[in-house]
Structures are given as structure tokens and as C-alpha cells.
Amino acid sequence: MSGETVAEHPLSEKSWRKKIRWDWVFLLATIPAFVVLVILFRGNKGSKATHVSWEYFKEMAIILPAVLVIMGLVTVWVEKDLIVRFLGEGSGMKGIVLSFILGSIPMGPLYIAFPLAYVLLKKGARVANIVIFLSAWACIKLPIEIVEFQFMGWKFALARYLATLVVVVVMSLAVEKLFFPHGWAAKGVEEEYVGIPSEKVTEEEIVEEIEED
């Protein structure tokens, strides 16, 4: 769900490179490329391209509003405190399951998850849980699965979902055991942290931001 570039992250310094809206650059590069190609190859290839784009547009136009509405509802109704509380306390199997569930709840773009993960780690959450949390947040979020279901078919979506579930758990435990045997805050690890204090981070509530509009 993190369609925006690093540019929009409120914590990053505002250099000119970060101010650029890459999605718009991308779009403004694609439109002329599409138009020129379709005009140049007016025959078979051009009409195939327009046809395919149109089909994708129709499919998106039907499914996207519904997905967005569900995401909006969850964002407003499920409080962020809930996530911090449960993940921080979570340990063992319960923690793993909770990390998965909480990561799957759509709460906004991925860059919201990084500061949240920092807060959780700082509060003593397991490294494994946070890796699971971030992975779930990135690629197996529930409303997004609807889109995968739609485009890739239920067989592929289900197979990838289950495979990701298993592999991510194993991976997170491996990361913890191999690289963080004494926890995230162990000596030498925390010194690498050069970010901004977590207080600034938790203020960053999407809902609040939006209500201010």
C-alpha cells in the first residue's frame, strides 16, 4: 500500500530529489510513450495495447473503490494503540500469529510501518515478530489479496499466500537467531540507529492527518 515515494515521508529531509513525485513522473513518461507507440503501430499491436489497457482499466474501476472503502473503514475503526499493545506483549506462537494478523490489517503505506516497527522494537517486541509484521504489511494484506484473487486467480493467490506465510515465519526466526541473538537493542545495534525520536513518529496518524484537511 505504499504507492508513494520516499518524498512524502514527513521525517525525511527535503532535498530536491525527495520532493519529486515519482508516480507523476512515471505517469507523465508513460502517457506520451503509449500515445506515440499506438499511433506508430496503428495496426494489430496498437489496437492490442489499447484493448488490454481498457480491459485492465475496467477491472480496476470495478474492484478498486470497494477495496478502498474497506481499507478506509478499517483504518478508522481499528486503533493504532491496539497494534502497539498486542505486538509489544506478544511472544511465542501467540506473538507470531498476532504479528501476522496485525500486519495484515490495512493501516496505511509501508513507511508508516517502519516508525511503528521502531516503536515496537524499542518497547521490547521480538525481532522475529517485527520481521513478520513488516512482511505481512508489505505483501499479504487482506484487502490487497482481493486484488490478487481477481487478477491471478484463486489457485495462485492461495498458493502464494500460504507459501509466504510459512516462509516468512521461518525467515523471521532465522533473522532473529542468526543476526539478533541478544535482541534488537543489544550493544552495537542501537548505535546504528540515527533516526528521529519515536515521539515524533507516533503522532503521525493518518486519520488525524486526514481529519485536518
Partner 1 sequence: MDLTSTIVLIISALLLLLSFLKDRKKTLASLKVALNVAKRLLPSIAAIILLVGIIVGFVPPAWVARSIGTQSGALGVVIATFIGAVLFIPAIIAFPLAKSFMDMGAGTMATAAFISTLTMVGFVFLPLEIKELGKRFALTRNAMSLIAAVIIAIIVGVIL
Separation between Cα atoms, residue 40 and residue 114, nearest integer Å: 45
For residues 16 and 77, which CB has a smaller minimum distance to partner 1 in the complex?
Answer: 77
Please report, as residue ranges, which positions from 140 to 159 form the binding site for partner 1 (by CB under 8 A).
141, 144, 146-152, 155-156, 159
**Which one of 83-91, 95-103, 163-171 is the stretch in contact with partner 1 (CB under 8 A)?**
163-171
Please pick, from the candidates 97, 105, 171, 204, the single residue that binds partner 1 as defined by CB under 8 A: 171
Please report, as residue ranges, which positions from 78 to 137 form the binding site for partner 1 (by CB under 8 A).
108-111, 114-115, 117-118, 121, 127, 131, 134-135
Q: What is the chain's alpha carbon radius of gyration, rounded to the nearest angstrom?
A: 20
Interacting residues of 101 by C-beta distance below 8 A, sequence separation 6+: none
Alpha helices, DSSP H only, in the chain? 16-19, 22-40, 44-77, 80-89, 92-104, 110-122, 127-139, 142-152, 154-179, 198-202, 206-212
Please report, as residue ranges, which positions from 172 to 211 form the binding site for partner 1 (by CB under 8 A).
174-175, 178-180, 184, 189-190, 192-195, 206-207, 210-211
Is 42 near partner 1 (CB under 8 A)?
no
